[in-house]
Each structure stands twice: as C-alpha cells, then as structure tokens.
Amino acid sequence: MTQYRVVGTRPVRPDGSDKVTGRAVYGADVYLPGMLHGKVLYSPYAHARIKSIDVSAALAMEGVLAVVTGADLPPMTTDEIVQLGESAIGTRYMRDMILARDKALYQGHAIAAVAATSIHLAEMAVSAIKVEYEVLPPVLDVEYAMRPEAPLLHEDLTTRSLGQATGRHSNIASHMRAERGSVEAGFAEAHVVVEREFRTTMVHQGYIEPHAATAQVTADGHYTVWTTTQGSFAVRNCVSQVCGIPLGKLRVIPTEIGGGFGGKTQTYLAPLAVLLTRKSGRPVKLVMTRAETFRSTGPTSGAYIRLKAGARRDGTITALAGSMAYEAGAFPGSPVGAAVNVCFTPYKTDNLRVDGYDVVVNKPRTQAYRAPGATNIAFAAESVIDELAEKLGMDPLAFRLKNAVREGDLNTWNAKLPVIGLVQLLRAAMESEHYSAPLSGQNRGRGVAAGFWGNWGAVSSVHMVFNHDGSINVVEGSVDIAGSRASMAMLVAEELGIPFDQVNVTIGDTEMVGFANETGGSRTTYATGWACVKAAQNAIDNLRGRAALMWECATDQVEYIPGKGFISTADAEKLLTLREICAKMNATGGPVYGVATINAGGGAPAFAVHIADVEVDAETGKVDILRYTALQDVGTAIHPAYVEGQIQGGATQGIGWALHEGYVYDEQGNLKNANFLDYRIPTALDVPMIDTVMVEVPAPNHPYGVRGVGEACIVPPAGALANAIHRAVGVRLPNLPMTPEQVCMALVAKAEAK
C-alpha cells in the first residue's frame, strides 16, 4: 500500500464539537423575523377519491395567513424525469406526491397546508379544513397488486415490459430482465437444486431528525429555502418543477442533517413552504412530527421474491434464476433495478435469468435506504446459496469462494466487473479468528453472507481559495452526513502536502458552488474527494505560474513537491514554500484559487462479508447475537475511524431490518407502528460490539483508490443472521423481519412435521 502523510490518519472531525454541544443549526433550528408556522393536513385513508376540499373555515381564523391545496400547483406542461439520488421520479408524480389532487393514495398523503402565526393555530386551522372523500379499496400487498382484478391506483398507468410500452393498464409500472446463457440447460446439469420464496416488509431509515423546511421570498421574487436534505440541488430542482419557479430565482441552503441514509434525497416540505410563503409574503417554517415522518415520507420497499439455484457435486454453480416484485409505494420508482443487479452478482454463472417488477401499492412512495433494494434480495439470495452449500456438504465460505466473481467477470446486468476484492474478503473471513473460534452450546449457530453494491460516482463540484498565510478555504456541494468535511480536508492536505488543520471545508448552498449530486450511494468521498484532488491540482498549476513569474522563468521549469514547496528545475537552489507564494499573491496576479467539477461515472463496486453467531431461545423465539464480524473491501481507508463507523452503523441497521423492523399496516392501510416505541430499531442491548476487518483493494480508477463504504455494509446482515438461525435451530426463515413470533412459528412447524 502507498504510504501517505494524512490519508489513513484519524484527525478529529471539525464539526463534531458544534454537533454534540447543540450549536450546529439543523432544519428545525431556523428562525426568521416575522416567521409563520406551517402545518400539513394528511389523508386518513390509504386510497380515496377527493371529491371536495373546503378551506373557508381555516382561512376565516384570525392569524391564518395562507392555505394551499393541489389546486394551487401550477399546471405541468411536461413530464420530465427528476433524479433524486439513486432513484428517479417523473415530475407529474412528484407534484402529486407533494400535494394530492384527485386521489389520496396512502395514509399520510398531503392534502393541504396552512401557515399561521403560531404552530397551535396552524394545527387548529388544519383541523378546520373539510375534505369529502370517496373511500376506495386499498391495495396493500404487492402480490395482490399485480393481479388483473386488483383496483388500479393510477387509471393512466400502463406497464412497460423489457423497455417497451405494452399499453396494458395495471399496477405494474415496469418489468425488466437480466439474462445470459440458458437457465434450463444449467438446471438440467445440476446435481442439487434449491428453490425458495421470500417476503420482506417496508422499513424506515430511522433517522433521528424529522423533515423540516423554511422558506422566504423577497420583493423581487427570489426564494430562499433552508432545509434538512441530502442534496440541495435536488431540492432546488424539485421546488422549481412543482412550484413553477425558475432555477435562477431559487436558493437552497442545506442545514446540518440529523441522518438521512437515502430517506432525505426527496423533499416533502420545501415546496409547501415556498407555496405558503408565496401566498402570505412572510417566511414559513414546517416541521414534521415523528408520526408524520413515518406515515408520509419514503421508507424502502417490501418485496416478494422467488429464487432458484443449482450446482454440480463439485460445488460449481450451473444456473441462477429469480423473480422479484418490489413495492414502489403510491408512485413508480422502487429500487428493483438495483436489486436485480445485487441479486447474484457475487457469484459466477454462465446461465442466469432474473426478472424484476416495479409495482405500485397504497403506501408512501419508497425512497433509498443505504444500498436501496439490496438487503431484501441479498437476504433471499444468501439463504439459497447457503442452503445449496449445505446440501453439497461444503463449508459455506469455501462454497462462496469457489464461485466468487473476479475482475472481468460479469455482474447480473452483464457488465464486466473491474478490480474487486471479494476473493480477498472471503479468504480473510475464512482465516479470521472469529470463523475458527469454537461455538458450543445448545441452540447456537454461526452464519455467513456476502453482499455487493455497485456504488455511485456522479457529479461533484469544488472550489478552493488560498489565504495569505497558506491556509485554504474549500467549498464543496455535498452535504456532510458522516464526516465528509474531514475526508475532503484530508485529501486536499494530502495532495498539497500541508497539515490537515490548514484546510477549512464549507458545505456550499446552490449559489455558492457548482452543481453536485446528492450525498448518497457512497459517492461523496469517491466523487467529491476526487473533485477536491483535481481542484488542488488546478491550484498547483496556478501557483506554478506565480512561482515562474517571481523567478522570471517558464512555468514548465517549476515543479511542486508536496510538503516541501516549489522548486526550479533550472536552479536547484531556488525554493518557494506554499506560504511564501500565497503571501505575495496580490503582487503576482491576485487571489489564488483552484476549481474542479467531475462526473465520476459509476463509482467503484464494493463487497462485504459478514459472520454472525446467535443463540435462539427455543421457547420464546428471541434471537440474541453473541458475536458479529463485518469484513469489507474499503479500497483505501481515508479516515479509518469513519470507515469503521460506517461499517458498524450499516451492520447495525441491517440487524434491525433482519430481526425487529418493519411497517405494520391493518387491512384499511393504517400504519399501526408510526413511532419509535412500536417501530423497534435496535438499541445497545440488541447489538454486540461489531468487529470490523478492512480489506484494502484500491479502486484503480480513483487517484487515491477510494471505494464508497456506506452501502455494502447493510447488505449481508439479514442473510448472515438467517443462516445463523438455521444452524442454531434447524429452520430456514423466509420472511423479514425474523421476529420471535416468526421463529416460534417455524419451530412449531418443524416439530409438527416430525
């Protein structure tokens, strides 16, 4: 591995003190003179036609200055696709999601919003709005939604199949397929075949901070929005499309963000705040309650999955096939395409066929959640792969290693994989102290699973300005969720050969820095870090010209040595430090700067392998995790502590998804667990200390070998725990979450079968 001065160290994050002491400004902390408080009226029904909305009583209340409904939205002249992180949505659907017009499509669908002089008055005004509904049968199950007899959520939605319009009206928005070889021939030559069905439920990202947005408008029609978001430019685009405001008249300022994990790539309140401030002429702030956040914002998809896998006696996989239907929520756009790719990518096969279906149901439109779509399908795929290894009498890691993809092999979508580290991970797992440690005791088991995520690159922008003392102010457009200020400063410091504390990083708003895609998909350190490196290189070129001017020589006779300074190739005794040049910047042409914008493409793929030891209480079904190790190919660990934190955080969320978490709806589509008491995320009592093993296989297309690390870590936990439970008590669980009830039911069924 290359030896670095700054990269690989563990400096203290510059924003940490403000965040833990309460000085940092989050979405709900914004206060402006004359500010009004907003409140949203949400549909109590999962599926209902809106016959009329009467806001007169609300408007008649003293202190209520504005009310908006879907009728206040400007007409949509085009239906474009808007990119929101790793997902996309049509502008018409996005508008209907912000404010329902003809139909309410899920419990929690926004119907109207008010602005008043106090939050209590706003709540009273919302209660005074009268809505007449025609309640319709809800469609809550993805399998039922696909049937011809199921009620249609959208009368104008027709299915696209394999990229072609079918003209068929249904709740299936799209059907896609990845295929190569002949699965029929592959299964014919298999000596062992496993075929199983799986079901998973919607889960929420569980971020601590609810959604919040504040907007104000100036006399000349310029709008400013402060909001908690993973992407200020995405918010600007959404507000522009929904509210009909030119981009040049919109400024979006991202506040600090109290968690997102993909759930804050979509904005829900910013357009409403803009509409209310437009009507009232005063600043308006809206903040969701926790229950509103659960009911009205995007969780990630539940799914119905069928998989089939076959192998020869020697352990060679001969064929892999599958079909998956993902809940999109009320509007098309589930992560089923990513799920298709994740499904079998860790394993080589010449014969493969995977079908994916994007299906609308009467639930909130789904959003990303850390490797969106991957945890569901990896739970299913790793269970099937594990059962195949068991039937062949092979060690589960050895079986995976035998079939593991290498550089040049194909992913599920038939694209060649670049340099990857799956083989190194599997070997490290097999050689780990955890895997070789004895596990004794009744109802205890050890499970393993692998996971893949393609990662994302996309567009990032950076500009930096040098101060006279040689320190640097960097402005970048990626919202800092997990400490990227420090990572960006480290890469700049490394490239320039200066101390970390001489680099100050600011998160810019939409008027301070060039366009940047959202923080998500593990792209920030990869793409924005790359842009920082390029901006530093651009600055070095600028500074070489200043040195040449001072020495009265050609620029190509000046060389920069990081950590030392500028030297003359014509005169070895000439040396100028970075600080010396900056001190004379006004005399040599004015401010010294560096700029860069990069489209980093698809990112560097990442793999993870997890090992879990569990103990199952056969009477209650409770699963206790005894030991957990997460191994991951991290490329190059820029800040190892942050990398470890990402891996541990993702594993913890995956554990919650596996054992506890899931939306619970009744037959009418009412969400029954819209709070953190009933929606049970893991606590410190549920999760052991998670050991991390960082395997560094640098990505060759990145100047520092970076791979995104925040996604792959959530992919294997459910599969690893399912396989551990099987080895503990001999049952394979086909549904998530694997609650004590599910475990008990499986144990009873096993006993009855005997």
pLDDT, tens digit (0-9, with 9 covering 90-100), for 303-313: 999 999 999 99
- Rounded CA separation 304/140 (Å): 13
740, containing H or E segment? helix 740-753
The CATH number that domain 462-507+522-597 falls under is 3.30.365.10
Largest CA distance in the chain: 91
By percentage, how much of the chain surpasses pLDDT 90?
Answer: 95
> Residue 1 has what pLDDT?
52
- Rounded CA separation 399/277 (Å): 61
Count of positions (residues) in the chain: 754
Residue 135 has pLDDT above 90, yes or no: yes
Question: Domain boundaries in the chain?
Answer: 31-136+208-259+264-296, 303-455+604-753, 462-507+522-597
The beta strands (E) that lie in 510-605 are given as 558-561, 565-568, 575-576, 593-599
Burial class (CB in 10 A: 0-12, 13-18, 19+), 290: middle
Residue 81 has pLDDT above 80, yes or no: no
By percentage, how much of the chain surpasses pLDDT 70?
Answer: 99
The DSSP output letter for 244 is T
How far is the CA of 41 from the CAs of 107, 130, 230, in angstroms?
11, 10, 25
Q: Residue range 41-62: average pLDDT? A: 98
The CATH number that domain 303-455+604-753 falls under is 3.30.365.10
Q: What is the mean pLDDT of the chain?
A: 96
> Residue 244 has what pLDDT?
94
- Rounded CA separation 286/59 (Å): 18
Model confidence at 85, in pLDDT bands (50, 70, 90)?
low
- Rounded CA separation 557/554 (Å): 5
- Rounded CA separation 657/143 (Å): 21
Residue 3 has pLDDT above 90, yes or no: no
Cis peptide before 737 (omega within 30 of 0): yes
Q: Residue range 261-281: average pLDDT? A: 97
For residue 648, give both structure tokens. Answer: 């541990």
Residue 83 has pLDDT above 90, yes or no: no
Residue 82 has pLDDT above 80, yes or no: no
Q: Residue range 282-300: average pLDDT? A: 98
pLDDT, tens digit (0-9, with 9 covering 90-100), for 136-175: 999 999 999 999 999 999 999 999 999 999 999 999 999 9
Yes or no: say if 658 and 733 are a contact pair by the CB < 8 Å rule.
no
Model confidence at 79, in pLDDT bands (50, 70, 90)?
confident
Question: Annotated catalytic residue: which of 149, 711, 741, 752?
Answer: 711
Report how far apart the first and last C-alpha atoms of the chain are (Å, whole number). Answer: 56
pLDDT, tens digit (0-9, with 9 covering 90-100), for 376-407: 999 999 999 999 999 999 999 999 999 999 99
pTM: 0.97
For residue 483, give both structure tokens. Answer: 């400490």
Yes or no: say if 344 and 354 are a contact pair by the CB < 8 Å rule.
yes
- Rounded CA separation 510/317 (Å): 50
pLDDT, tens digit (0-9, with 9 covering 90-100), for 535-589: 999 999 999 999 999 999 999 999 999 989 999 998 888 999 999 999 999 999 9
List residues bridging with 506 in a β-sheet: 475
CA-based R_g, the chain, Å: 27
Residue 177 has pLDDT above 70, yes or no: yes
pLDDT, tens digit (0-9, with 9 covering 90-100), for 109-124: 999 999 999 999 999 9
The CATH number that domain 31-136+208-259+264-296 falls under is 3.90.1170.50
549, containing H or E segment? helix 529-551
| Catalytic site includes residue 644 | no
- Assess whether the region 31-136+208-259+264-296 and the region 462-507+522-597 belong to the same CATH fold: no
List residues bridging with 319 in a β-sheet: 310
Residue 657 has pLDDT above 60, yes or no: yes
Question: Which residues in 700-735 are b (16+ Cβ under 10 Å) and which e?
Answer: ebbbbbbbbbbbbbbbbbbbbbbbbbbbbbebbbbb
- Rounded CA separation 577/443 (Å): 66
- Rounded CA separation 298/264 (Å): 9
How far is the CA of 42 from the CAs of 109, 130, 240, 384, 585, in angstroms?
5, 12, 23, 42, 58
> Residue 90 has what pLDDT?
84
- Residue 321: how many CB atoms within 10 A of its CB? 23
pLDDT, tens digit (0-9, with 9 covering 90-100), for 472-498: 999 999 999 988 999 999 999 999 999
> Residue 12 has what pLDDT?
94
